[in-house]
C-alpha cells in the first residue's frame, strides 16, 4: 500500500508532467492525499483525467460567476478548483454556484473542501445523483460512499454554502445545560480556605 506522502509526491509530479505549473501541481498533490484519506478514489480519477487531457485539453475557467458554462466542451476541474479556492471568501456571497460540463468532477471536491475550512462554513455539492457534504476540510460525507465515483463528466455541479446552524433546539440545549448544572459545587467556607493563597503565612 502506498503512503499518503507517496500519493502526494507522485500526483504532484504527474500533474506537472501533464502541463500544470508547479504551484498548481502541488495543490493537486495535497488534494489527492486528502481524497484518498477520505476513502475516495482520487488517484484513479486523476490518472484517467491526465491521460484524457493529453489528447483533448479541457477549458481553463477565468472567472467564476453564479452560473458557469464552458465555451468549448468541458471545464478543467483542477483550474475550476484553484479559481474557487483562491476566491472562496468573495464567492461565499453568491451562496449557490453552478458549473456545467466539468470533466472528472471528483477532482474538484478537495478544492471545495479546503474552501469550506477557509470560509468557516459547510459546503454542499451535488452532481449526477451524488451528494457530498464538506465539513471544514475535516470530512467529506457522501450519500453513496460504496458506489464507483469515476464519472468522466458532470453535466451540472451545484455548490452551496450552508449557514452555520445548531443541529439541536433551544429546548434541548437548556435541558442539557440544566443537567450539567448538577456537577456545579456550591462554594463553602471550607472550600474558600482551600482556595488560591490559603495556608500562606504572613511573617511581616
The pLDDT tens digits for 141-199 are: 888 655 566 899 999 999 999 999 999 999 999 999 999 998 887 656 665 566 655 55
For 56-60, 108-112, 131-135, 146-150, which range has the lowest pLDDT when averaged over its residues? 146-150
The pLDDT assigned to 185 comes to: 73
pTM of the model: 0.83
* Residue range 83-128, pLDDT digits in tens: 999 999 999 999 999 999 999 999 999 999 999 999 999 999 999 9
The pLDDT assigned to 200 comes to: 53
Q: CA–CA separation, 59 vs 70, rounded Å?
A: 7
The pLDDT assigned to 189 comes to: 63
Q: CA–CA separation, 203 vs 69, rounded Å?
A: 82
Q: What's the CA dihedral at 83, 88, 93, 99 to 10 degrees? A: 40
147 backbone dihedrals φ, ψ, rounded to 5°: -85, 155
**Nearest CA to 124 among 76, 161, 69, 179?**
161
The three grid cell numbers given for residue 106, joined into one nine-digit string:
471528483
Are the C-beta atoms of residues 111 and 82 closer than 8 Å to each other?
Answer: yes
The pLDDT assigned to 150 comes to: 86
The pLDDT assigned to 73 comes to: 86
CB atoms within 10 A of CB 1: 3
pLDDT exceeds 70 at position 72 = yes
pLDDT band at 13 (very low <50, low <70, confident <90, very high): very high
Amino acid at each position: 500500500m502506498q503512503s499518503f506522502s507517496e500519493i502526494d509526491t507522485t500526483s504532484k509530479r504527474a500533474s506537472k508532467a501533464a502541463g500544470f505549473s508547479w504551484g498548481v501541481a502541488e495543490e493537486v498533490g495535497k488534494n489527492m492525499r486528502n481524497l484518498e484519506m477520505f476513502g475516495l478514489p482520487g488517484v484513479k480519477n486523476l490518472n484517467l483525467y491526465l491521460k484524457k487531457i493529453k489528447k483533448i485539453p479541457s477549458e481553463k475557467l477565468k472567472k467564476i460567476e453564479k452560473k458557469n458554462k464552458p465555451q468549448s466542451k468541458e471545464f478543467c476541474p483542477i483550474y475550476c478548483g484553484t479559481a474557487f479556492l483562491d476566491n472562496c471568501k468573495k464567492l461565499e456571497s453568491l451562496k449557490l454556484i453552478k458549473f456545467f460540463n466539468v470533466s472528472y468532477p471528483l477532482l474538484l471536491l478537495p478544492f471545495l473542501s479546503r474552501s469550506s475550512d477557509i470560509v468557516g462554513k459547510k459546503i454542499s455539492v451535488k452532481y449526477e445523483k451524488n451528494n457530498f457534504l464538506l465539513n471544514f476540510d475535516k470530512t467529506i460525507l457522501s450519500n453513496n460512499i460504496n458506489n464507483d465515483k469515476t464519472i468522466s463528466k458532470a453535466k451540472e455541479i451545484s455548490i452551496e454554502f450552508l449557514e452555520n446552524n445548531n443541529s439541536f433546539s433551544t429546548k434541548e440545549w437548556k435541558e442539557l445545560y440544566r443537567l450539567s448544572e448538577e456537577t456545579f459545587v456550591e462554594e463553602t467556607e471550607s472550600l474558600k480556605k482551600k482556595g488560591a493563597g490559603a495556608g500562606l503565612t504572613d511573617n511581616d
